[in-house]
Structure 1
Amino acid sequence: MQKLTEKLKLNIQFFATPSYPEANLQTVSTLDNYPEKSIDHVYRFEQSLKDFQNALGISRLMPVAEGVTIKFYGKPTVTLADGNVPEGDLIPLSYVTPAVESTKELTLKKYRKATSGEAIQRYGKDKAVELTDDALLKEIQKNIRKDMFTLVQSGSAQTSLNAANGLQAALATVWGSLQTIFEDDTVRPIVFVHPMDIAQAIADKQLSLETTFGLNYYTDVTGTVVFSSTQVTKGSIYATAAENLVVAYISADSSDLAQTFALTSDDTGFIGMTHFVSHETLTQQTLAVSGVLMYPERLDGIVKVALSAGA
């Protein structure tokens, strides 16, 4: 009977419901320190944005809360009262009506990218994860630039000047125009040009091109900074003063959102980012959140010059 009992003993633990992931499983998060990787990617994005900001000469950073509506103003309407007031009489009030040309709500934008375990296995983590993260950040940068160029080129945002014969003549025209518009201030002109319109100037004389935030630029003899982008309409140049540009952003480094989702950022807080592993799908996930808007404060401070056909 004793031998029969021993034969009937069951391994109860063998039939227990398994629990996953198993203890001591070597996962990506245990083999690599992803917070540091997040900070690295965030730093590269924000350093690029800082370089762009410095190249433009933007010194005005405005942290705002999500959902804030930004108003874009044109030239205000002034109702000027009669200034011929007899001695001792009440001076009538003049009235200034701000001209709100358009508005834009600043919202938090969210981006996620997943890299499969098979891709990491085949191509290695550096290619499968880090290079695709760089591509993701470049696309986020592109969207930020797109918003700015849309505002700069909007119909209500510009004063059209007479067509100029050649890029150099157009740069001289906008330089003089901006000095007139901002006559009470010392301003640094910023010009945005399509690459094909700037190509001839490069061919005609030696220019030293710099690159920042995904854009090529050079500095004109007048001190005007000329940026080249395909997002600018070919055949016209658009210009404003560096002092007229503002960067509004939703801080991603000190909010409850950042703490809840373990977002990392540098001291600017332009973008929050984190990496995490999804065991259910065998993917390594990248999460990025950003709310950045670069815009001109005065829409009447933007000028447009068409390049003549013979340029």
Structure 2
Amino acid sequence: MNKKFDLQLFAAPDNMTGTAQIQVKAREIDFVTSFSKNIQSLLDIMGITRMIRKQNGSELKVRTASGVLQSGDVAEGDIIPLSQYSVSEKTFGKIAIKKYRKGVTLEAISDKGYEAAVEMTDEEFRADLREAVLNNFYNVLRMGSLVGHESSWQRAVAMSIGMVKDKFNKMHRTSTGVAVFVNTLDLYKYLGTTPITVQTAFGMDYVENFLGADIVFITSEIAEDTVVATPLNNLIAYYVDPADSEFVQAGLSYTTDSETGFIGFHIQGNYERAISDMYAIMGVQLMVEYLDAIAHVSVGESDTQTLGTLTVTSTEGPESGTTNIAVAEQLLSMNNVFKYKENAGSATDVTYGMDVKTWTRWDGVSPIKATAANHITVVEADPNYKAVRSGDVEAQVKA
């Protein structure tokens, strides 16, 4: 007598934790732990003892300090003058969870094998996430307001250290050390064949106790012939803990590191496209507390160099009271920027190396509000906002 068996009765129960699920979970834990340990090693080097936890969407503030120390030469019985210092805050932006995704195709796994494909893609994903954090940090460093110019690279390093220490002294703060950021090519041009011990943390190469700096970071993100410095205790870091969110309640569960909470990671298969999808969420921001305690010192013999020329034209803008400005030349460097200034009657005088930090920034394409026949002087400025090329035109403004 034939009996029919319901094979479903012998199938593994739904949601059973099997070998495949354990392997995926182990991979998620390894990814999160590796990322967290790497960023923690950088924080330790920078002297950041802990990251400050923020709620998703919180505003981040940066500060500037100003004031003048009054003379201490006071006659007997006279009133001691009061030295007044003020600290102003402005909103830098909001810290928020950001979402990232990368996939491994079925073909890649078939071609290279699961282990190789996973290792390659996980490492690439980690590197991309690391770059996202560091790029934001370098953008903050570029906002420093202490500027200087020196004839040699070594003098620029020394002066940048002195400038930030002096700034902290005037703020009645003591620097715990100084971090200097230099261009990779500049460092090796200075060293020649002299060997140095370079270490790496979270993708950042660094040298300790070099040329008077406690730590020197070596990167191509800093323009050549430029030195950037800030006190170590001016560095600060914020993060949003992915576990704080209500994603789990919405069915979006991420593996996180319970000790740090810097990042959340999840893997799942996409059957529609035969892709193993990797998802990451994080809200990490390396910052400074005081923008005016970041020094930018450029290198070169500024008095022997000549201001370059920009070919600037003007046509009527799209709206009343606007002009379209066009510059024929491209920026000499991707780190340079356009600045402009409007002046009635004549062009604004510009010399090579002139500081144009207070001029209005221009993206090179947007219409500019102006008064008809006024002069628009456009300057190409280096990362320290020093003029390298300039051009001028009378504004043609739409009535």
Which TM-score band applies after superposition, normalised by the shorter structure?
0.7 to 0.9
Q: 1:258 to 1:172 in 2, by over 3 A?
A: farther
Question: Are residues 1:141 and 2:133 paired?
Answer: no
Question: Are residues 1:209 and 2:198 paired?
Answer: yes
Query: In the TM superposition, what are the counterparts of 1:115-264 in structure 2 within 5 Å?
Result: 115-154=104-143, 157-166=144-153, 168-183=154-169, 184-203=173-192, 205-219=194-208, 220-257=210-247, 260-264=251-255
Q: 1:265 to 1:194 in 2, by over 3 A?
A: same
Amino acid at match of 1:243: N
TM-score, with normalisation over the residues of structure 1? 0.79
User: CA contact under 8 A between 1:175 and 1:189: conserved in structure 2?
Assistant: yes
Cα distance between partner residues in 2 of 1:287 and 1:264: 10
Q: Which runs of 5+ in 1 are unaligned?
A: 1-10, 14-18, 81-92
The residue matched to 2:272 in structure 1 has which SS?
Answer: coil
Cα distance between partner residues in 2 of 1:29 and 1:94: 70
Deviates more, 1:218-227 or 1:137-146: 218-227
Q: 1:229-272 CA deviation, whole Å, 9 max, x = no partner? A: 11112211111011111110001235432574221122101111
Instruction: State the 1:204 CA deviation.
Output: 5.4
Cα distance between partner residues in 2 of 1:249 and 1:76: 29
Question: Are residues 1:296 and 2:288 paired?
Answer: yes
Cα distance between partner residues in 2 of 1:193 and 1:254: 37
User: CA contact under 8 A between 1:188 and 1:243: conserved in structure 2?
Assistant: yes
Cα distance between partner residues in 2 of 1:59 and 1:170: 29
Cα distance between partner residues in 2 of 1:209 and 1:249: 28
Amino acid at match of 2:26: E
Question: Are residues 1:41 and 2:27 paired?
Answer: no
TM-score, with normalisation over the residues of structure 2? 0.62
Amino acid at match of 2:252: F
Instruction: State the 1:202 CA deviation.
Output: 2.9
Deviates more, 1:177-186 or 1:288-297: 177-186
Match of 1:271 in 2: 263
Cα distance between partner residues in 2 of 1:231 and 1:246: 20
User: CA contact under 8 A between 1:74 and 1:299: conserved in structure 2?
Assistant: yes
Amino acid at match of 2:282: S
Q: 1:307 to 1:202 in 2, by over 3 A?
A: same
User: CA contact under 8 A between 1:265 and 1:273: conserved in structure 2?
Assistant: yes
User: CA contact under 8 A between 2:133 and 2:285: conserved in structure 1?
Assistant: yes
Match of 2:102 in 1: 113
Amino acid at match of 1:180: D
Q: Which structure exhibits the higher relative contact order, with contacts defined as CA atoms closer than 8 Å and separated by 6 or more residues?
A: 1
Q: Which runs of 5+ in 2 are unaligned?
A: 71-81, 303-399
Instruction: State the 1:296 CA deviation.
Output: 0.7
Cα distance between partner residues in 2 of 1:144 and 1:221: 27
Q: 1:192 to 1:221 in 2, by over 3 A?
A: closer
Instruction: State the 1:122 CA deviation.
Output: 2.0
Cα distance between partner residues in 2 of 1:170 and 1:150: 21
User: CA contact under 8 A between 1:67 and 1:105: conserved in structure 2?
Assistant: yes
Identical residues among aligned pairs (%): 24
The residue matched to 1:99 in structure 2 has which SS?
Answer: strand
Cα distance between partner residues in 1 of 2:274 and 2:231: 50
The residue matched to 1:182 in structure 2 has which SS?
Answer: helix
Match of 2:332 in 1: none
Query: In the TM superposition, what are the counterparts of 1:87-106 in structure 2 within 5 Å?
Result: 98-106=87-95
Q: 1:242 to 1:299 in 2, by over 3 A?
A: same
Say which of 45, 51, 72 aligns to 1:55.
Answer: 45
Q: 1:60 to 1:309 in 2, by over 3 A?
A: farther
Question: Are residues 1:284 and 2:276 paired?
Answer: yes
Cα distance between partner residues in 1 of 2:262 and 2:151: 39
Q: 1:246 to 1:229 in 2, by over 3 A?
A: same
User: CA contact under 8 A between 2:161 and 2:213: conserved in structure 1?
Assistant: no
Query: How many equivalent residue pairs?
Result: 275
Bigger share in strand: 2
User: CA contact under 8 A between 1:152 and 1:158: conserved in structure 2?
Assistant: no
User: CA contact under 8 A between 1:179 and 1:187: conserved in structure 2?
Assistant: no
Amino acid at match of 1:290: M
